[in-house]
Amino acid sequence: MSNTVIIGTQWGDEGKGKIVDMLAEKSSAIVRFQGGNNAGHTLVVGGETCILHLIPSGILHPGKICLIGNGVVLDPEVFLKEIDALAAKGVDVSPERMMISKKAQIIMPYHRLLDNCRESLKSEDSKIGTTGRGIGPCYEDKASRIGIRAADLADPELLRSKIEEALIEKNALFENLFKAEPLDTEKVYQEILPIAERIKPFLADASSVIQECRKKGMILFEGAQGIHLDIDHGTYPFVTSSNTVAGNAAAGAGCGPRTLERIIGIVKAYTTRVGSGPFPTELFDANGEALQQAGHEFGATTGRKRRCGWLDLVVLRESARLCDLTEFALTKLDVLSGLDEISICTAYEYRGEKIDYPPQEQNGMAYCKPVYETMPGWKEDITEVKSFDELPQAARDYINRIEEISGVRVGIVSVGPDRAQTIVR
């Protein structure tokens, strides 16, 4: 099989974890290439639910190599909690198969504090809806060249000096801007030391490991969030702090772009968004409530209720052109069962014009009105359907229309949360 990139085509929460888990079986290695523990992948295998925030979903497949790439910002405490939880379930999470790039950036306690201090200072209208996990401040330190890398955890003297350097600026902000207590270098250092000792065995040259794994089989690259949360191409400023587009899989993992051969865009059969930001197809009626309830739309990381709306093909067109998608994996199709009618947004009305792609101006999407096409719904329970031809005609028509409008083939259809509830066309 071809080396494959899995990305979300909307605002995250599309069900990437399940598809990664499904494809991991045929992979030699699974690599997480961006983001941090501000994302959550929910997996259901044999009726048992497992939520992962950092560790690649492929860890549930025995013998597969799992890597956290250099493009990830790693909270070592969260990583170790996930390691311990998986080990308690009998999952092999030994350093021989679970590795962290030595170049990955480390989220420190002061990053989380800074994240929350900033958000609390903003008015309700200007809040980004950050998870408060310290993701943005960690990426800031990376760009400012004062970040702590995973490899630094193995060098106590360097680690302490870097903490001291970082706190010069952070403490000035805490004391003078946020009116908070400054952090003590020695206290932060002593807090991270035992964590660093546990992390050290997992450190690796991820690029070298990927190179060797390519000789053995397919590499699966796992992204977090969604394309429209990309720091460059998303609904800025209501975005995440990293590049979520498929092209970043190479930079965030440590390999060449020709390694990326198959790019699967995960798309929920409707649209959801967590936190602030424009959402043209958002529903505030009974249909929106029905989608929220039937889809159990609560964030895997924060538990926040997700905003729900009809499928937005304008958003998907943009994702397709930004990522050169080879196919879609359509998830949560079963949630639409029982609706009399289903609407699809095929274009926007923006400043008196009809447009097929999102406006490029900051917050331009907030002024877009969706242009809808309505299709018949279906009443049948499709959770036990095993093939495309067994789906109700209305469900097949819905999928076919998505393909016609987007120009991207739907190669995978998920009709339920379990690994087995998946149709491959």
274-292 pLDDT, tens per residue?
988 999 999 999 999 999 9
Q: Kindly report, residue by residue over 105-148, the tens digit of the pLDDT.
A: 999 999 999 999 988 876 666 656 677 899 999 999 999 999 99
pLDDT at 374: 98
The C-alpha atoms of residue 407 and residue 200 are separated, in whole angstroms, by 46
Give the position of tokens 């739907």: 410
187 — pLDDT class (breaks 50, 70, 90): very high
Over 80: is that where the pLDDT of 27 sits?
yes
Structural domains for the chain: 4-102+204-262 (3.40.440.10), 105-199 (1.10.300.10), 267-424 (3.90.170.10)
The torsion angle over the Cα atoms of residues 118, 122, 127 and 133, rounded to 10 degrees, is 20
| Of 41, 61, 111, 233, catalytic | 41
Whole-Å CA distances, 171 to 84, 142, 249, 279: 33, 18, 34, 37
Within 6-105, residue ranges assigned H as helices are 16-24, 76-88
38 — pLDDT class (breaks 50, 70, 90): confident
Q: Kindly report, residue by residue over 208-228, the tens digit of the pLDDT.
A: 999 999 999 999 999 999 999
Percent of the chain at pLDDT > 90 equals 87
Q: Which two tokens stand for residue 88?
A: 């308690």
For the segment 409-414, the average pLDDT, to the nearest whole number, is: 98
Beta-bridge mates of residue 264: 6, 327
294 — pLDDT class (breaks 50, 70, 90): very high
Per-residue exposure over 139-160, b if at least 16 CB sit within 10 Å of its own CB, e if not: bebbeeeebbbbbbbeeeeebb
298 — pLDDT class (breaks 50, 70, 90): confident
41 catalytic? Reply is: yes
| Of 13, 21, 75, 115, catalytic | 13
Phi-psi region of 4 (alpha: psi -120 to 50; beta: other; left: phi over 0): beta
Of all helices (H) and strands (E), which one includes residue 116?
helix 109-121
pLDDT at 129: 61
